[in-house]
Amino acid sequence: MRSTVTGRAKEIADLAKELPDSAWQELIDFAQFLKIKKQDFTYKQTTDSAQYVRSLRAMEGRKTKSGQTFIKELIEWQESNS
């Protein structure tokens, strides 16, 4: 699988070299669209785009830990091992 990903990344990089600077944002937007589509997004489900964007940001926020949360978990782990 690693070689497949590497091959695909190389193919994307080769294609990107041929793109004019003005097309980069379109490429990024399309990649983000594909990511969202994978999460079963449809335009029919979105009645309030602002609310949808807030929910996406909240989902992304739950995936990452703040430094403070990381330190708390680290301290709890160390205390549980002592």
Angle, vertex CA 18, rays to CA 35 and CA 4, nearest 5 = 50
Please give the structure tokens belonging to residue 81: 């091992």
State residue 34's pLDDT score: 80
Give CA–CA dist 46/54, Å, rounded.
Answer: 12
State residue 22's pLDDT score: 81
State residue 16's pLDDT score: 82
State residue 31's pLDDT score: 82
CA distance to 33, 62, 63, per residue, from 7 (Å): 22, 31, 28
Residue 27 in contact with residue 19, Cβ under 8 Å? yes
- pLDDT mean by block of 10 residues, the chain; 82 residues: 74 85 82 77 68 78 71 79 66
State residue 77's pLDDT score: 77
Angle, vertex CA 20, rays to CA 36 and CA 7, nearest 5 = 60
Give the pTM.
Answer: 0.40
